[in-house]
Amino acid sequence: MSRVRLFPALCLSLVALLHWLPAQAAATATATATATATARPTDWAQPVEVQYNLFQMSPTLYRSALPDGGAVPLLKNLKVATVINFLPEADSNWLSEPDINQVQLPYRTNHVDDADVLKTLRAIQSAEAKGPVLMHCKHGSDRTGLMAAMYRVVVQGWSKEDALSEMTQGGFGESGHFRDSVRYVMQADVDKLRTALANGDCSTSAFATCSMKSWFQSVNLK
């Protein structure tokens, strides 16, 4: 082919390429956005507000990092009736709304036991009867993540594997923070926890501090 004929052909090819590139880029961006939107399992906690690491676990249960006064309008909009706090500091520092009940259940993941879990699950179930519940710690990942996983397993019937996948891959925080939480979930006796929760027991062990305290109180009453 002569150079005279080749030049127009190259121009046409270049024009076609310039038209194709934006369309391809748009298609790629759309595919990426779609993949991102569909990658998160629908039964996992869904993001609500990035600033507070706030996610919705169910129609009546939310999880988050430590809120501040700026979060109160959002909580009221979500109709949150109870805030459960796993920190040693009270929520009264930022929350003074009379219509939102405050429950403080401080604990540490490296010292957690069945009594802590049962106390939390019982508090959640009791509060859910009055309206949506928010549970939080400082970052919304380790302490909150552990109790969220145990709620999934004990109350909602999830497998440990599914609950741990949500905990560690759900975008709640650095996975390195979950070591103690993962250890507890893996060794937890789910059947015993369910039985204790249903029976109103404070622990799965008769020799737990709370169980012994209840026993001594019953003996003294007699």
Same domain for 87 and 167, yes or no, is: yes
The per-residue pLDDT for 74 is 98
Same domain for 31 and 68, yes or no, is: no
Number of Cβ within a 10 Å radius of residue 97: 15
Q: What is the CATH number of the domain that holds 138?
A: 3.90.190.10
Same domain for 152 and 70, yes or no, is: yes
d(CA 100, CA 81): 5
Same domain for 27 and 104, yes or no, is: no
Same domain for 54 and 35, yes or no, is: no
d(CA 94, CA 92): 5
Same domain for 164 and 79, yes or no, is: yes
Closest CA relative to residue 203, chosen from 121, 86, 117: 117
For residue 216, tell me if it sits in a domain: no
The per-residue pLDDT for 209 is 78
Extract the tokens encoding 79: 């109709």
| Structural domain boundaries enclosing 115 | 46-210
Number of residues assigned to the chain: 222
pTM of the model: 0.79
Closest CA relative to residue 147, chosen from 94, 208, 106: 106
Beta strands in 107-213 (DSSP E): 133-136
Same domain for 104 and 56, yes or no, is: yes
Question: Domain tally for the chain?
Answer: 2
Q: What is the pLDDT along the chain (222 residues), one digit of tens a residue?
A: 555 454 555 445 544 544 544 454 444 344 433 434 458 999 999 999 999 999 999 999 999 999 999 999 999 999 999 999 999 999 999 999 999 999 999 999 999 999 999 999 999 999 999 999 999 999 999 999 999 999 999 999 999 999 999 999 999 998 677 999 999 999 999 999 999 999 999 999 888 878 666 555 555 655
Contacts of 95 (CB under 8 A, 6+ apart): 67, 69, 72, 83, 102
Contacts of 159 (CB under 8 A, 6+ apart): 153
The per-residue pLDDT for 217 is 58
